[in-house]
A and B are shown apart, each in its own frame.
Chain A
Amino acid sequence: MRKPNVESSDVLEKLCPSKLQAGIYYHVYEAAWGWRATHPYSKARLALVEGRPDGTVVRNAYYLANSANAAIWEVVLRDAAPDPWGGVWVQPGQIMNRRLATIRLKRDIDIVRMDKPHRRHSVTVDSTLDKNWDRWLTTTEYVATHHAASRADRQFSEGSLVLPGFQWCSRQLQTGLVCVLYGEELDDAWELVDDIALQSESGIEAIRVALEAGGMKLVGDPTGSDFDPPSSSY
């Protein structure tokens, strides 16, 4: 564990990686890139995005979760809220090119855990930084989180360490844990267990189950003979 001098722009008081436990995880990804690929242009929570702030060293991001429900909530359903009858419609464009991979981590790897109480290894409980992290891990607007990630990355670099990634409680599904790993393509510590297209019957069922876990129902796609006019009508 390193404890550098804390500067006003620091977002961590101590650089204290923990371990991401070996086991099963879930990852929603773009079909064209494959399940091992990391995302070079992600703008999701805690991504290292060019220009936020200036001088950020962009590193690819890989998001995963400890349950299929959490993975789906984080990617597909993160901006979903129920209508008055508990229904959620997912536009087909959000899922047509996406897949859900079940992956196995074969050995423990480093991670900075920001879920509580593990966060106390990195920041003082109830401190201003602790409250800032509460916000960065819950806000729906990610620009501030990009700045935070960049500053953490810089702190690790200044301590001659490499920031491996973060783990935190899913904002979308609070029983779930989610992670971002920084770096190039996943190495041989990972292997694929299962892989389904979200647009397939199994994928739709996975989304339905994820919504049901949140007390919501999936509203089907409103196209087809019940919804569209005869071709001559408009």
Chain B
Amino acid sequence: MDLTVLEIDGRGGGARFNRLPEASLVHELRTPSRHEACARLYTIEADPLGIGVATMLSLQNHASHFFNAARLDESNFFHAPSSFGDAAALWFELDRADIRSVEATDVVRILQAESDRSIKGLFHHAVLVELTRGDVETSTVGVLEHLSRVFLNSFQAWHKVETTNAALPSPADAAAERRNHFLAAGWPSSMTVGKWLGGAEAAAEQRASRARADRRILGAWGGKGVGFVHPQFQFDSFGQPIPRLEELMDRLGELQSFAPDTDRGGWRRVFWLYQPRPSLSERSIAEFRSTDPLAMDGNFDQFPDVARTPAEVFATDPEAVFQLIRMDAEAERGIL
């Protein structure tokens, strides 16, 4: 099992994705020799061919959340053992919205547990963060602020690179490319999902098929020989559909583009669910929910303004996704 790492290098290297053998992290732990300011976010990579789109999006958003949470609540965030002291690195586990500091000695165990879950086809939620400091005189907050700026600058630069490099693909090619990234992400098959749903193993694929037809879960057609695959965000760590998933499926049907028979392959809904949307940034949601219509800008500075995907937001804030569906439906009807 490999790892994908998002490395945010404070020495001027910017932010970049890498793929590493799991064993290399264990090796790194034994030789804590890095003393330059750097943050690395590690997660298990399910895509056998490379770094998957869902993994990249997830790591980008975990990084954003990590830096913002640290900035907001530095005093509580860096409680023991989260101070550098003599440590070469600080470690954190991000599990959805939760951040907790962990001992370096726990890292291998956590990673192994995630790896085991992934091998069993269960969703992995946790991302491990390694934070190393450069100049010993620099405060932890200073390190975080510096790395946060590096991350944000790199995030913007990635898109500039897209514009200046090779000719852009046609829309049709871009659609096929995006689908292929999702297909390579290791999303569970009908057989796997059918087993998760329970009942006789022989009827597992039929159960998954019925759940799709009843719009209780979403599948996307992977072609002959692959069948349907099922976006991972729909399932909890035990393989069960997450709360309010059926309601999500129902509400998506309110959009013209997703009416029955217009999205038989499921890819329109997948593309919608995995398209980053500025209106789902934590800041936009806070502004929307503000009871003071003339509240000043500064009231919302505490919230990160990074676009998020509906798939990413749904488990923790389904109402925000339902609101987005309402907005899109109004836009379709020309109300906005």
State the A residues within 8 Å of B (CB): 30, 32-33, 39, 41-44, 52-53, 79-89, 91-94, 96-98, 131-132, 134-135, 139-141, 143-144, 146-148, 204, 208, 212, 215-223, 226-229, 231, 233-234
Listed by A's residue number, 10 A-B pairs whose Cβ atoms lie within 8 Å are A89-B271, A94-B331, A132-B294, A141-B284, A143-B293, A144-B293, A217-B168, A217-B171, A223-B265, A227-B179
Question: Which residues of B lie under 8 Å from residue A227 when comparing CB positions?
Answer: 175, 179, 221, 265, 267
B277 touches A79 (CB 8 A): yes
Asked if B288 and A141 sit within 8 Å, CB to CB, the answer is yes
In Å, the complex CA distance between A86 and B278 comes to: 14
Indicate if B130 sits at the interface (CB-CB under 8 A). no
Number of A-B pairs whose CB atoms are under 8 Å?
Answer: 171
Find B255's partner among A39, A91, A139, A228 (CB 8 Å cutoff).
A91
Interface size of B as a range:
35 or more
Q: B175 contacts A220, CB within 8 Å?
A: yes
The 8 closest A-B pairs by CB, nearest first: A220-B171, A222-B267, A215-B163, A81-B307, A86-B162, A220-B175, A93-B256, A30-B334
Prevailing SS type, chain B contact patch: helix
For the complex formed, measure the closest distance between the CB of A53 and the CB atoms of chain B, giving whole angstroms. 8
Q: B154-176, CB under 8 A of A: which get 1 and which 0?
A: 00001110110000111111111
How far does the alpha carbon of A233 sit from the alpha carbon of B159 in the complex, in Å?
Answer: 38
| Residue numbers in A under 8 Å from B274 (CB-CB) | 83
Contact for A147 among B171, B262, B293, CB less than 8 A: B293
| Residues of B with C-beta under 8 A to A53 | 293
A86 touches which of B159, B212, B287 (Cβ 8 Å): B159
> Does B56 reach chain A (CB closer than 8 Å)?
yes
In the bound complex, do residue A234 and residue B287 qualify as a contact, i.e. CB atoms below 8 Å apart? no
Complex Cα distance A88/B272, Å?
A: 10
CB distance from B242 to the nearest CB of A (A): 22
Please report the C-alpha to C-alpha distance between residue A208 and residue B170 in the assembled complex, in whole angstroms: 9
**Complexed CA–CA distance, A135 and B262 (Å):** 39
Q: Which residues of A contact B288 (CB under 8 A)?
A: 141, 143
Whether the Cβ atoms of A144 and B294 lie closer than 8 Å is yes
A207 to chain B, nearest CB (A): 9
**Distance, CA A131 to CA B298, complexed state (A):** 10
Residues of A within 8 A of B80 (CB): none
Q: Which of B66-120 contact A (CB under 8 A)?
A: none
The residues of B that contact A96 with a CB separation of less than 8 Å are 256, 332
Near A by CB (< 8 A), chain B positions 237-269 give: 255-257, 262-265, 267-268
Closest A residue, CB atoms, query B262: A223
Check A234–B174 contact: CB distance below 8 A: no
Taking a contact as CB atoms under 8 Å apart, the answer to whether B257 and A93 are in contact is yes
Contact A219 B271 (CB under 8 A): yes
Interface membership of chain B positions 274-318, coded 1 if the CB is closer than 8 angstroms to chain A and 0 otherwise = 111111000010011010011111000000000100000000000
CA distance in complex: A32, B307 (Å): 32
Quick check: is B200 within 8 A (CB to CB) of the other chain?
no
Query: Does B171 contact A84, Cβ atoms closer than 8 Å?
Result: no
Which residues of chain B have C-beta atoms less than 8 A from A44's C-beta? 336
**Interchain CB contact under 8 A, A91 and B257:** yes
Alpha-carbon distance between A143 and B323 when the two chains are bound, in angstroms: 14
Interface centre among B181, B228, B271 (most CB of A within 10 A): B271
Write the nearest CB–CB distance from B140 to chain A, whole angstroms. 29
**Knowing A216-B159, A229-B265 touch, does A52 contact B293 (C-beta < 8 A)?**
yes
Cα distance A86–B53 in the bound complex, in angstroms: 11
Are the C-beta atoms of B272 and A91 separated by less than 8 Å?
yes
